[in-house]
Chain A
Amino acid sequence: MTTATKIVGAALTAALLAGTSVMASAETLRWARAGDSLTLDPHAQNEGPTHALAHQIYEPLISPDMAAQQIPALATEWYVKDGDPNVWVFELREGVKFHDGADFTAEDVVFSINRAKMPDSDMKELLVSITEVRAVDDYTVEMVTDGPNPILPNNLTNTFMMDKGWAEANDVTKPQDFEGGEETYAVRNANGTGPFRLVSREPDTRTVLERNEDYWGMDDFPMEVSEIIYTPIQNAATRVAALLSGEVDFIQDVPVQDLERVGDSEGLIVNKTAQNRTIFFGLNVGSDDLENDTVEGENPFANKQVRKAMNMAINREAIQQVVMRGQSAPTGVIIPPFVNGWTEELDQYPEADVEAAKAMMDEAGYGDGFTVTLHCPNDRYINDEAICQAVVGMMGQIGIDVNLVAQTKANHFPLISNRETDFYMLGWGVPTFDSEYVFNFLVHSTTDERGSWNGAQYSNPELDAKIQSLASETDLEKRNQTIAEIWEVVQDETIYLPVHNQVLNWGMTENIVFPVQPEDQPHFKFMQFN
């Protein structure tokens, strides 16, 4: 059947080349990745696979493209209002229709943003600065923020637009909540403006999408995929087997140990890119004493010398070569290269030097070392447990005896949330592509709004003030200067010990032309076939 489709596709392409009119080909894409989307409700979950599927069906105002750069989607232009720095103006694309035929207008934007701000929405944190959304006319929307917010557009790239009429007719004006006890209509049905429309959905089994022939961007994007069959395949070996046997055409999450196998197979290729996720270790620098160590009455991690020594003891290149089989980019900072604020200088990491690190430990008064517990997930990041095992050995070389506790992510992350770990692994992506996001969650002292992932319990009021100023600084040059200053402190303090940026691998048949998207988010409207 596939061969047949491909032949038809090839024939059509040939016909297209011969002719002059641009006509879409018929290509079925069978797509597999480890996890399924959790829900089709576009505001209920802020999670990778969920957004990836939603992006095929729904659209945000501003969309990321395959290089994770912002491109106009349902908004064609956006700018800060003249004379009022607290207002962002969005000009909407005209003539866009939802899959059910309804027109897309400003009132749908007002409705969708308000829906995404409701308590049961998972997207509300990104929209917290918005105090009012108003429709100026049918195709202009203004968003009022609680102060100037220069990076508001960055926060809108995963906030999808729903049809107000459809939501009202189906009683889904609120995101799904778990207390209600009912399945809402939007969990398994969808009505977006996106390039593909939903044909059928069986959660965890099979989701079928077909090309939206009335899509506004039919001429702006390749739009060569006519049908998508999406199957989550959890077991890594089975997922690779399905690609090798030709049952699927495209897989995400290729296991590191199978990359060579897939790449060497006839008719298959592996594409790679640096992922928007940095892996690092957090140290409890804030407590007076540590729960999980052998030093009584004081916190060795509060000593900057100890942290620097640990940072120096990590042999990042060895981890890259041995544990990751080359599939990582060692780094000295906890943000990936494409995030605003990243510099090559920050990315430099200290050469692993056991002798120098030992000397620093001596200087700090911990020449005899100490024992501490390291907490790691074993099912969240690529080779997470193996990285931790390697680090245990490296810490041992400078006298720090590490007990490793590697466990499932559902047990690991609560330790960080509840501040119950003193030494832990964490991976962090930056969906807004701006350093402020990292500072808000990881560096700012823990308050109700900020610092929820600051497991290091680091607190620096001066830095907090600088971080807060970023939210409303409209002079971008000045803002970038502040970001650089904050990084300088963070790097000097060595609160976190960066390890590497993950590398993303997508495996596909060789007739597919599709670069890897740094956020692991395929946008199939860009996919092309040879």
Chain B
Amino acid sequence: MLAFIIRRVLQSVVVLLIVGLVAFSLFRFVGDPIDNLLGQERTIEDIERLRGELGLDQPFPVQYFNFLQGISQGNFGVSYRQGRPVADILVERLPATLELAAISALFAMILGVTLGVYTAIRRDGWLSNAIMTASLIGVSLPTFLIGILLIYVFAVELGWLPSFGRGETVQIGWWSTGLLTASGLKAIILPAITLGLYQMTLIMRLVRSEMLEVLRSDYVKFARARGLPQRSVYFRHALKNTLVPVITITGLQLGSIIAFAIITETVFQWPGVGLLFINSIQFVDIPVMASYLMLISVMFVVINLIVDLLYFAIDPRLSASRGGGH
């Protein structure tokens, strides 16, 4: 078990190094930050001087090495765009993204499971068919379009919810939360739905098909034969057995919710790391881009590691088969 963890951690470090290398080799195609930094009135001399100062005249492996060297000393560099340490900026922006991701995941889980069970039980009801048809929208429409539609309906036409921003926030230590104020709660509704809609329909369809399968199985038949009440059969026996794959999928999707937040955050001007990343790309803010990509890869690696460890805990067969080596 311990050996497995150590091996996975070492593998993760290699993954991170490769992500960084790929990122740095791609930065050349994002553009040159010098023009953004210097503005219109710059001379050829200025360009050369700043390029030298920022180390942009070095080949990318050298730039990458310098970046790693900085990180190993806990220094993520200074944002070209904001002139502030990248670590500070990320810490400031992360709560917004994590809150949004958590609320959308919650929304996707609760509504996805409920609707999934309902459509499985009332397989041929008109409401079920309507829900299934509507869920196609969630799967097929791009996120930004859903976001703009929601803004149009709920902010512009009805005027119920804000169209942008995070509302008022409360500072708890270094964590800023929008979940404790009325305006903050109102502000999170539309972005959370936009971000979670795809995951919700995914979970709903997954739960539905799992349920349909389980409902056909022998033990459900036996449970019914025993004369157990319907509710007990559905929720205690059937649903429980469908949840294992659902939890796995949700865990893995959490990473992509955080990563997909880029688009939702741009549409709703949500001040999280996704919006920061988009701004950084436009400005060619290399230190921020590099740190963001590293952060997201760390997140994916950690989530994967946890999921792997959970398998160990849930499924005893796995530890037996992996015991003999990978």
State the A residues within 8 Å of B (CB): 38-39, 41, 44-47, 119, 122, 125-126, 176, 178-184, 187-188, 202-206, 231-235, 237-239, 241-242, 244-247, 379, 408-414, 417, 428-429, 431, 441, 446-450, 452-453
Q: Is B72 an interface residue (CB 8 A)?
A: no
- CB-CB under 8 A from A182, the residues of chain B are 78, 85
- CB-CB under 8 A from B164, the residues of chain A are 231, 233, 238-239, 241-242, 247
A411, B32: Cβ atoms closer than 8 Å: yes
Q: Which residue of A lies closest to B96 (CB)?
A: A205
A238, B78: Cβ atoms closer than 8 Å: no
Instruction: Known contacts A178-B83, A184-B83, A417-B47; decide if A231 and B77 are in contact (CB<8 Å).
Output: no
Instruction: Known contacts A204-B276, A234-B279, A408-B282; decide if A183 and B88 are in contact (CB<8 Å).
Output: yes
A241, B163: Cβ atoms closer than 8 Å: yes
Instruction: Known contacts A178-B78, A205-B165; decide if A448 and B279 are in contact (CB<8 Å).
Output: no
- CB-CB under 8 A from A126, the residues of chain B are 41
- CB-CB under 8 A from A452, the residues of chain B are 42-44, 47
B39, A46: Cβ atoms closer than 8 Å: yes
Q: Give the complex CA separation of A412 and B133 in angstroms.
A: 45
A410, B163: Cβ atoms closer than 8 Å: no
- CB-CB under 8 A from A184, the residues of chain B are 83
Q: Which residue of B lies closest to A202 (CB)?
A: B271
A429, B30: Cβ atoms closer than 8 Å: no
A224 to chain B, nearest CB (A): 25
Could you write out 7 A-B pairs with CB less than 8 Å apart? A178-B78, A231-B269, A242-B155, A247-B163, A408-B30, A408-B31, A413-B35
Q: Is B321 an interface residue (CB 8 A)?
A: no
Q: Give the complex CA separation of A188 and B92 in angstroms.
A: 14
- CB-CB under 8 A from A412, the residues of chain B are 31
Q: Secondary structure at chain B's binding surface: helix, strand, loop or mixed?
A: helix
B268 to chain A, nearest CB (A): 7
Q: Is B53 an interface residue (CB 8 A)?
A: yes
A240 to chain B, nearest CB (A): 9
Q: Is B84 an interface residue (CB 8 A)?
A: yes
Choice from B45, B162, B283 contacting A247 with Cβ under 8 Å: B162
Q: Which of B147-169 contact A (CB under 8 A)?
A: 148, 151-152, 155-156, 159, 162-166
- CB-CB under 8 A from B80, the residues of chain A are 178
Q: Give the complex CA separation of A108 and B95 in angstroms.
A: 41
Given A241-B152, A408-B282, A412-B31, 6 more A-B residue pairs with CB atoms under 8 Å apart are A241-B163, A247-B155, A379-B282, A410-B31, A417-B47, A431-B40
Instruction: Known contacts A181-B85, A452-B43; decide if A242 and B271 are in contact (CB<8 Å).
Output: no
Q: Secondary structure at chain A's binding surface: helix, strand, loop or mixed?
A: loop
B34, A125: Cβ atoms closer than 8 Å: no
B164 to chain A, nearest CB (A): 5
Q: Give the complex CA separation of A453 and B85 in angstroms.
A: 32
B209 to chain A, nearest CB (A): 36
B271, A238: Cβ atoms closer than 8 Å: no
Q: Is B36 an interface residue (CB 8 A)?
A: yes
Q: Which residue of A lies closest to B84 (CB)?
A: A183
Chain B: interface size category: 35 or more
Q: Give the complex CA separation of A410 and B56 in angstroms.
A: 14
A258 to chain B, nearest CB (A): 12
B159, A245: Cβ atoms closer than 8 Å: yes
- CB-CB under 8 A from A202, the residues of chain B are 92, 271
- CB-CB under 8 A from A119, the residues of chain B are 49
Most buried by A among B37, B85, B266: B37
Q: Give the complex CA separation of A411 and B36 in angstroms.
A: 11
B271, A176: Cβ atoms closer than 8 Å: no
Q: Give the complex CA separation of A297 and B282 in angstroms.
A: 38
B314 to chain A, nearest CB (A): 41
B3 to chain A, nearest CB (A): 40
- CB-CB under 8 A from A409, the residues of chain B are 31, 35-36, 282
A178, B53: Cβ atoms closer than 8 Å: yes
B282, A203: Cβ atoms closer than 8 Å: no
Q: Which of B1-35 contact A (CB under 8 A)?
A: 29-35
Q: Which residue of A lies closest to B270 (CB)?
A: A205
- CB-CB under 8 A from A429, the residues of chain B are 40
B269, A235: Cβ atoms closer than 8 Å: yes
- CB-CB under 8 A from B241, the residues of chain A are none
Q: Which residue of A lies closest to B176 (CB)?
A: A202
A238, B42: Cβ atoms closer than 8 Å: no
Q: Is B203 an interface residue (CB 8 A)?
A: no
Q: Which residue of B lies closest to A188 (CB)?
A: B84
Q: Is B275 an interface residue (CB 8 A)?
A: yes
Instruction: Known contacts A181-B75, A187-B83; decide if A449 and B30 are in contact (CB<8 Å).
Output: no
A41, B31: Cβ atoms closer than 8 Å: no
A38, B32: Cβ atoms closer than 8 Å: no
Q: Is B82 an interface residue (CB 8 A)?
A: yes
Instruction: Known contacts A187-B82, A417-B35; decide if A204 and B156 are in contact (CB<8 Å).
Output: no
- CB-CB under 8 A from B252, the residues of chain A are none
Q: Give the complex CA separation of A38 and B151 in angstroms.
A: 28
Choice from B35, B84, B276 contacting A187 with Cβ under 8 Å: B84
Q: Give the complex CA separation of A187 and B79 in angstroms.
A: 12
- CB-CB under 8 A from A204, the residues of chain B are 271, 275-276, 279
Q: Give the complex CA separation of A449 and B49 in angstroms.
A: 14
- CB-CB under 8 A from A447, the residues of chain B are 44
Q: Is B105 an interface residue (CB 8 A)?
A: no
Q: Which residue of A lies closest to B151 (CB)?
A: A241
Q: Give the complex CA separation of A408 and B29 in angstroms.
A: 10
Q: Give the complex CA separation of A188 and B88 in angstroms.
A: 13
A186 to chain B, nearest CB (A): 10
Q: Which residue of B lies closest to A411 (CB)?
A: B31
Q: Is B237 an interface residue (CB 8 A)?
A: no
Q: Is B54 an interface residue (CB 8 A)?
A: yes
Q: Which residue of B lies closest to A123 (CB)?
A: B41
Q: Is B38 an interface residue (CB 8 A)?
A: yes
Q: Give the complex CA separation of A413 and B37 in angstroms.
A: 12
- CB-CB under 8 A from A413, the residues of chain B are 32, 35
A234, B266: Cβ atoms closer than 8 Å: yes
B77 to chain A, nearest CB (A): 7
Q: Give the complex CA separation of A325 and B162 in angstroms.
A: 30
Q: Which residue of A lies closest to B275 (CB)?
A: A204
Instruction: Known contacts A410-B31, A417-B47; decide if A39 and B271 are in contact (CB<8 Å).
Output: no
Instruction: Known contacts A232-B269, A247-B163; decide if A183 and B275 are in contact (CB<8 Å).
Output: no
Q: Is B267 an interface residue (CB 8 A)?
A: yes
- CB-CB under 8 A from A449, the residues of chain B are 43, 45
- CB-CB under 8 A from B31, the residues of chain A are 408-412, 414
B270 to chain A, nearest CB (A): 9
- CB-CB under 8 A from B271, the residues of chain A are 202, 204-205
Q: Give the complex CA separation of A204 and B266 in angstroms.
A: 11
Q: Give the complex CA separation of A119 and B46 in angstroms.
A: 9
A414, B53: Cβ atoms closer than 8 Å: no
Q: Is B284 an interface residue (CB 8 A)?
A: yes
Instruction: Known contacts A178-B83, A417-B35; decide if A237 and B151 are in contact (CB<8 Å).
Output: yes
- CB-CB under 8 A from B165, the residues of chain A are 205-206, 231
Q: Which residue of B lies closest to A47 (CB)?
A: B39
A125, B41: Cβ atoms closer than 8 Å: yes
Instruction: Give the top 9 A-B pairs by smallest Cβ distance, nearest first.
Output: A410-B31, A125-B41, A414-B32, A183-B84, A46-B39, A205-B271, A413-B35, A411-B31, A410-B284
B49 to chain A, nearest CB (A): 8
Q: Which residue of A lies closest to B81 (CB)?
A: A38
- CB-CB under 8 A from A231, the residues of chain B are 164-165, 269
Instruction: Known contacts A231-B164, A241-B163, A245-B156; decide if A410 and B30 are in contact (CB<8 Å).
Output: yes
A250 to chain B, nearest CB (A): 15
